Amino acid sequence: MRRIAVLSSGGDAPGMNTVIRAVVRRGIFKGIDVFGVHNGYDGLIAGNFVRMDLGSVGDIIHRGGTILRSARSERFKSEEGQEQSLANMKNLGIDGLIVIGGDGTFKGAQKLAFNGFPTIGIPGTIDNDISGTDYTIGFDTAVNTVVKAIDKIRDTASSHDRIYVIEVMGRGAGDIALWAGMCGGAESIIIPEANFNIDDVIKSIQQGHSRGKKHSIVVVAEGVCKGTDVGQMIQEKIGYDTRVTVLGHLQRGGSPTAYDRMLGSQMGARAVDLLENGERGVMVGWKNGHLVHTAFVDAAKDKHTIDLSVYQLASSLSI
């Protein structure tokens, strides 16, 4: 392994820069040339490679976003796009690739691996929706961002008699909603992994009101429905004054937490070591407090799950 490349793809996530730094520095430490690919798979097709040196990743460990930029590339889904990418890497003498992204990114990486190209994946997405790892890079930062937002909304909520509905990201997964709802003390959490019944939400709001609660906070994962729909249902059914906040892309920004930096540093370095040791077509993960790696094919077979006992606990603590 003499030359490797690294790219970030899909939705950016805080901590991606930490991973890029770790890949570049670990690679150079081991005497490997490292290239950064700009704009995800689009850049791989366009041949957008830049040689990285030690200084190129200085002062980025604490910065959100990704210095390599990211993209959602339709063209890479075609065989033509994948073949062009492979040809570009061959021309440049690249003999290993590390991709940072979510499940879509890993599907793309799997195609390269099927074609015999040594490819390693690192889970980077705020959604935490990838099997093969307990945590994805960016999730912890996003949860902390949402908890801070809930705390602020709670300040104003406690000054008014209202219901506050907060819609959070997560695509098809409820992890951000569950963690932030639990840590923000929400009265109700609505996630795709548990049946959603508006009457249950209303019952919990009314129970709280009957014992003197003046306001309630409801966290809804975008994978279930729009926050505005939940707000409208509550207003129509019980007539309480309701306000809706959609947190949106601010959940993707910000300086990565120490936890995301720790995961990012370890996963980035491990990905280089795996390539060097001849591993191909695997993703790095974090399970039960340890680094692990899983074949893309095996990770793709399993569905990401959520711990429903935490959901039940959150409900029982918000009575």
Q: Which residues are catalytic?
A: 127
Cβ neighbours of 48 (radius 10 Å): 18
Q: Look at residues 20, 88, 18 and name the one whose alpha carbon lies nearest to residue 49.
A: 88
CA distance linking residue 254 with residue 127, whole number of Å: 15
Interface with ligand ADP (CB under 6 A), residue from 36, 101, 181, 268: 101
Copy the structure tokens of residue 84.
């062009």
Q: Which does 260 bind (CB under 5 to 8 A by kind): ligand ADP, ligand F6P, none?
A: none
Binder of residue 117, out of ligand F6P, ligand ADP, none (CB less than 5 to 8 A by kind): none
Stretch that binds ligand ADP, among 55-63, 68-76, 143-151, 300-308 (CB under 6 A): 68-76
Provide CB contacts within 8 A for 268, sequence distance 6+.
Answer: 18, 19, 20, 21, 22, 23, 26, 98, 122
Judged by CB under 6 A, how many residues of this single chain contact ligand F6P? 10
Residues 221-240 that bind ligand F6P (CB under 6 A): 222
Sheet with 216-221: strands ordered across: 188-190, 216-221, 163-168, 242-246
Which x/- pattern over 73-112 shows residues binding ligand F6P (rule: CB under 6 A)?
A: -----------------------------x----------
| Cα(166)–Cα(243) distance, integer angstroms | 9
- Which span (52-60, 96-104, 220-228, 268-276) binds ligand ADP, by CB under 6 A? 96-104
140 scored as a contact of ligand F6P (CB under 6 A): no
Tell me whether residue 136 or residue 318 sits nearer to ligand ADP (CB atom).
136
- The answer to whether residue 104 forms part of the interface with ligand ADP (CB under 6 A) is yes
Going residue by residue from 20 to 49, which x/- string records binding to ligand ADP, judged by CB under 6 A?
Answer: ---------------------x--------
**Helices 139-157 and 258-276, axial angle in degrees (round to 10):** 170
CB under 8 Å to 59, separation ≥6 — which residues?
Answer: none
Collapsing DSSP to helix, strand or coil, 122 comes out as: strand
Query: Site for ligand ADP (CB under 6 A): which residue of 5, 6, 8, 11?
Result: 11
Q: Are strands 119-123 and 163-168 parallel, antiparallel or unpaired?
A: unpaired
Residues at the site binding ligand F6P, with contacts judged by CB under 6 A: 11, 102, 125-127, 169-171, 222, 252
Residues at the site binding ligand ADP, with contacts judged by CB under 6 A: 9-11, 41, 72-73, 76-77, 101-105, 107-108, 111, 125
